[in-house]
Structure 1
């Protein structure tokens, strides 16, 4: 990492890289390497944020953002003291790091730091801007929304939208996206806002949240026509027209020996043997899963309990100014909250949010008539949600319109998520859908989190970013 980070005192552009949950600076090594290959140390100075490594990412977006804010201020001061001068700033966030970076941007704006800099790029790779609660129905999804929020300490509560930020009574994700907040005005300073979103196989942050979208056209890729961006190896989709309903044209007839009527008995036997081996491996996998999954779950829950205690202690020490960050000035900003009163109500019981919606999508023909009748003055949770009901009704209307135009139905998101989509989209984004084919762990592959061949498609994404997107 050292050979890619840092820079020359001649550089006037600082680019900050922020890793994600459970991450460490090494996760951003490929991002830093790609940037350095395009821009020499005399042009761009690279800072890889370090203070949120490992279990420190459990401490929440707020504390993580404060740490990154302080790191940036300290780096700017250190460069200045050595005789350098930074005039431009870019910030890159991966996964949770995108949210942490947005919080840090709000603090930098409130403290006047951004007034002295030209803000060029804000880039997010697979960042869950709308949180990670699943909008799908069913017991597994409901359990995920309830348990997931309680096993990742403060970060989990914020990612699932069940926290209350300071004295606002709102989840932090709602505050981050409020049009009147310093977080949004700070983000608006950047000349270019770019995001890269996995369309499939992202087990950490699914497409709707990383794309800031009310729909997910990629749930059944066999029944859509996908269009790629020329020159990017069938990895990056065309952002202006990525996909349309309707199955793609059938592939040309295969010329393999399996379609040849003269295929020998030996070849058939080889195929049968290969199929048998695949079935045996799959059976072994499921047997192992049945044996070890309970142990893994227990270990995960025990670790979560330990990390919750440790994180709570760190947060308490930070509030008292004992964690190495001079938090007095930051705490003063919190009192002013940087936000006017948010109009409308946000549901109070996020613990049962997934159960509040009776379907995965809004406004589908099969349940459209019954859905209106279920919206009484109190929802299924017993919460007065008049404004939320109005948002949902509006989205049902939009959903029917989209479907009538051959579009895709609207996901059953929470009211604060619909509001966040509208507000964030007002800023303007360059959105690039990414299809990682080689591996079923696209969340790590999109930034080549570790160097291995199966993650090679992520290098295509990074090449596009440094050559076509990054303003220097």
Structure 2
């Protein structure tokens, strides 16, 4: 890692890399290596954020963002004290690191740090900008999303959108995407906004959230025909025309069907035997990490963790307007199929059904179950969303929460360059997209990183 990070005093461009949940700086080694292969130390100075390693990522986006902000400010001061002069800034976030980076950008902007820098690139690899809740309604939303949020401490509550951030009454994800917030104004200062989103086998963050999208055309890849970006075939899809409906397939024969099931059988048996063990281990670990995280956050809030928190508790708004363990979690998180907004004719028949629960809207342990009036409002909202967005791009609109629709609208105004990625050779595409480790089958991630470094990164 040391061979690719750092830089010389001649470098005027600082690029900061921020890892994700359960991560550590080594996860960003391939990202740093790809960037260094294109830009020498006297052109780009590379900083890999270190303060949020391991279980520290449980402590929430706010704590993580404050740590990264401080780390960037400290690095800028060190470079300046040695005679360097950084004039440009780029930030890269992977997975949860994309959200942590956005929080840090808001603080850097509010503290005036960005006023003296030319903001170049903000890049996200598989970052869940809309959270990680599965688009579900009713009891399934309550079971898999609200309960699932309790297993990842504060970060989990924020990723599932059930927190109330400070005195805003909103989830932190909603505040991050509020057009009047420091986070959006800071992010808007960057010249280029790029994201890379896995279209399949991402068990941690599926396409709709990493691609900032109301739809997911990739739920059944046998029904679409992929169009790859010229020169980057088989890995990166053409953002302007990623897929089209596939020609009707011939009916599957019985022998082919039996063969398919035979291939899946070892995997099914493994899930049956090991997932219960993994779930128990995960829940026990979650309880332990929740206690530890609470202690760390308490120290952080009291200023005893090496950061003067008061320095970072700036006004969030531009205007005064307040509008194995990992595998077990990922298997549970990815086991649920997505649901869609109902059509007008379908929703009419739902008026007499039991009221549903607002998708992802539960904010306190005491008020997660909607009453009848709230249920009717939700159905009305779904009908309105369905009429407006139901067949965007020819695909049905997912059953997202209202704050997620608002976040999509606000974020899309920044003009993202969105690259769908199809990792074929490994089922853990969330790790493969950045070659998180030197592992067979992750080679396609090197194609992604090379595309980013050579085609997207503005030096």
Indicate the TM-score class for this superposition, using the shorter chain for normalisation. 0.7 to 0.9
The question of 1:300 aligning with 2:282 is answered yes
8 Å Cα contact 1:363-1:409 kept in structure 2: no
The question of 1:369 aligning with 2:369 is answered no
Residue 338 of structure 1: how far off its partner (Å):
5.3
C-alpha distance in structure 2 between counterparts of 1:292 and 1:363, whole Å: 36
Match of 1:431 among 400, 408, 418: 418
Structure 2 equivalent of residue 462 of structure 1: 449
C-alpha distance in structure 2 between counterparts of 1:214 and 1:340, whole Å: 30
C-alpha distance in structure 2 between counterparts of 1:284 and 1:374, whole Å: 40
Structure 1 equivalent of residue 246 of structure 2: 247
C-alpha distance in structure 2 between counterparts of 1:447 and 1:13, whole Å: 22
Q: What is the RMSD of the two structures over their aligned residues, measured on CA atoms?
A: 2.8
The question of 1:200 aligning with 2:182 is answered no
Distance change (3 Å), C-alpha of 1:43 and 1:94: same
Distance change (3 Å), C-alpha of 1:232 and 1:65: same
Distance change (3 Å), C-alpha of 1:284 and 1:194: closer
Residue by residue, what CA displacement relative to the aligned partner does 1:109-165 show, whole Å, maximum 9, x if unpaired?
A: 000000000000000000000000001358666432123200000000000000010
The question of 1:68 aligning with 2:85 is answered no
Structure 2 equivalent of residue 93 of structure 1: 93
Residue 400 of structure 1: how far off its partner (Å):
4.3
TM-score (norm 1): 0.85
Match of 1:453 among 440, 445, 454: 440
Distance change (3 Å), C-alpha of 1:376 and 1:305: closer
C-alpha distance in structure 2 between counterparts of 1:436 and 1:238, whole Å: 15
Of 448-457 and 26-35, more deviation after overlay is shown by 448-457
C-alpha distance in structure 1 between counterparts of 2:198 and 2:180, whole Å: 30
Structure 1 equivalent of residue 327 of structure 2: none
Distance change (3 Å), C-alpha of 1:372 and 1:420: farther
User: What secondary structure, in the 3-state scheme, does the structure 2 residue paired with 1:427 have?
Assistant: coil
Structure 1 equivalent of residue 144 of structure 2: 144
Query: Tell me, which stretches of 5 or more residues in structure 1 are unaligned?
Result: 252-270, 344-353
Residue by residue, what CA displacement relative to the aligned partner does 1:336-356 show, whole Å, maximum 9, x if unpaired?
A: 65564354xxxxxxxxxx9xx
Residue by residue, what CA displacement relative to the aligned partner does 1:364-411 show, whole Å, maximum 9, x if unpaired?
A: 477243246669899771274898666533321123454xxx711111
TM-score (norm 2): 0.87
Structure 2 equivalent of residue 216 of structure 1: 216
Mark the structure with the bigger radius of gyration: 1
8 Å Cα contact 1:163-1:172 kept in structure 2: yes
Distance change (3 Å), C-alpha of 1:226 and 1:282: closer
8 Å Cα contact 2:351-2:376 kept in structure 1: no
Of 389-398 and 414-423, more deviation after overlay is shown by 389-398
Of 383-392 and 232-241, more deviation after overlay is shown by 383-392
Residue 240 of structure 1: how far off its partner (Å):
0.6
The question of 1:26 aligning with 2:26 is answered yes
Structure 1 equivalent of residue 326 of structure 2: none
